[in-house]
Amino acid sequence: MSHDVIVVGGGPGGYVAAIRAAQLGGKVAIIEQNELGGVCLNQGCIPTKTLLTCAEKWRDLQNCANYGLKAENIYLDYSQVLARKSKVVLQLRSGVEQLIKSNGIEVLYGQARLQADGSLLVTGEANEVRVEGRAVIMATGSSPADLTIPGGELPAVINSDQLLALSQLPRSLAVIGAGAVGIEFASIFQAFGVQVTVIEMLPTILPNLDSDIIKRAGLALRKQGLSIMTNAKVTNIQQNEQGLKLTVDNGKELTELVVEKVLKATGRCPNIAQLGLEAAGVTCDRQGIPVNGRMETNVPGLYAVGDVTGRFMWAHAASSAGMIAAENAMGGNAVFDDRAVPGSIFITPEIAGVGLTEQEAGPNICVSRFNFAANGKAVSMGNSDGLVKIIADAEDHRVLGMHIVGPHASDLILEGGLAIRNRLTANDIARTIHPHPTLSEAVMEAAQGIGSTSIHQVRVSG
């Protein structure tokens, strides 16, 4: 079978690449080992956000008296929460399948392996088939990393996929790793009433974020009842009659913690094993498959996108890179713009950032902050915890970074992405009329603070 483009992997990078190549007139095949939609749709972004929505509504119900509402005999039915999660995933996966079908893309299910002659051998449950393509796009994603500590292999030490599959809530949960995955799951399960402890070996949670955002997020999470241990390392896990006993070393003393389940959230590893990369001459390392701005590997006609490259492990980045790879595979000349890749962490309050942090930007900058406590919409929502922070060049006030912790941060961050990509100044945002009352006014006010003073910010005399 000969195709213009063969895509290996049906996640947000792969299926978007396949659709884009088909839109450009290519004969396209997509090879998927499990289910279309990849980890994002089936075990990651979508199911976790569905659980988060349920958790937020449960928290709102418990605090409805703050809004003049009274509710009695409320209870959490986790089986129905899971049923809704499955329904949402099925609906969206069916939508992806329909998109693939409507674009005339052939779907092959099985394990794909590159051959020395550039073809792919697809091994399914019942047979093997060899396929050939003028171009191949690798989009095989990533998997949760294992724990390399004594006891890390115990059955109750689980990854994020296994946590989502639990039919009942655990009474207690230790989360090892305070990156995006660990903090999201910790926030969700704490809201459902699980006693959660987060253990992070670095000095802060969410270590790659802007320092102001880390501080505000940490305060909010602890206020909600989340226990967070930083500068702490789990050195051993043992099974006993009470559950799992963790030995934690904070550099000064050893402490013990007993929990029902342990979530290993120490990162993800690219899915590069069994792909036949070596036979095809493709360069790779522990981080993944290196690519250039056109998403090309070192082998002509072979591209890689998404988590498998080890760069920007976000679903939206994978989709954008998938489009770039597909356009180039079909004869185009597209380049991935890595200056404005937003990141979002879906907890309460939400976190989002794009561009440079204050730590990364250096000394020649202007910084402005605006608190949601001074935003009318946020106050009326009863969700005014957080801020918008803008970092701009000291001379021309061009926006270098935007970071938000607060309500709907993942939606608001787009304004920062547009500004950075198009080299806009803070004044371009400040002079754009924002509707009232909206959360977006907090972005406008933060922009006003670059080189001037926000209207709704109290001036400090002296």
CATH number at residue 12: 3.50.50.60
Choose among 269, 207, 265, 204: nearest CA to 234. Answer: 265
Over the stretch 313-333, which tens digit does the pLDDT of each residue have? 899 999 999 999 999 999 999
The model scores a pTM over 0.85: yes
Q: What is the pLDDT of residue 70?
A: 92
Among residues 266, 292, 309, the one where a domain terminates is 266
Give CA–CA dist 339/424, Å, rounded: 13
Range of the structural domain that residue 364 is part of: 343-448
Over the stretch 99-114, which tens digit does the pLDDT of each residue have? 999 999 999 999 999 9
Are residues 6 and 139 both part of a single domain? yes
Over the stretch 284-312, which tens digit does the pLDDT of each residue have? 988 999 999 999 999 999 999 999 999 88
CA atoms within 13 A on the CB side of 47: 25
Are residues 131 and 280 both part of a single domain? yes
Give CA–CA dist 323/14, Å, rounded: 9
Give CA–CA dist 182/177, Å, rounded: 6
Are residues 14 and 136 both part of a single domain? yes
Among residues 266, 297, 324, the one where a domain terminates is 266
Listed in sequence order, the residues at least 6 apart from 290 whose beta carbon sits closer than 8 Å to its beta carbon are: 283, 284, 297, 298, 309
Are residues 277 and 128 both part of a single domain? yes
Mean pLDDT of the chain: 94
Residues annotated catalytic, as ranges = 436
Burial of 395 by CB count in 10 Å (0-12 exposed, 13-18 middle, 19+ buried)? exposed
Q: Provide the domain count of the chain.
A: 3
Q: What is the pLDDT of residue 388?
A: 98
Check if the beta carbon of residue 138 is closer than 8 Å to that of residue 308. yes
For the cut 70, the answer to whether the pLDDT of residue 1 exceeds it is: no
For the cut 80, the answer to whether the pLDDT of residue 248 exceeds it is: yes
Check if the beta carbon of residue 375 is closer than 8 Å to that of residue 384. yes
Average pLDDT over residues 144-152: 91
Percent of the chain with pLDDT over 90: 87
Residue 381: band (very low, low, confident or very high) from pLDDT cuts 50, 70, 90 = very high
Give CA–CA dist 239/244, Å, rounded: 5
Among residues 291, 321, 336, the one where a domain terminates is 336
Terminal Cα-to-Cα distance of the chain (whole angstroms): 77
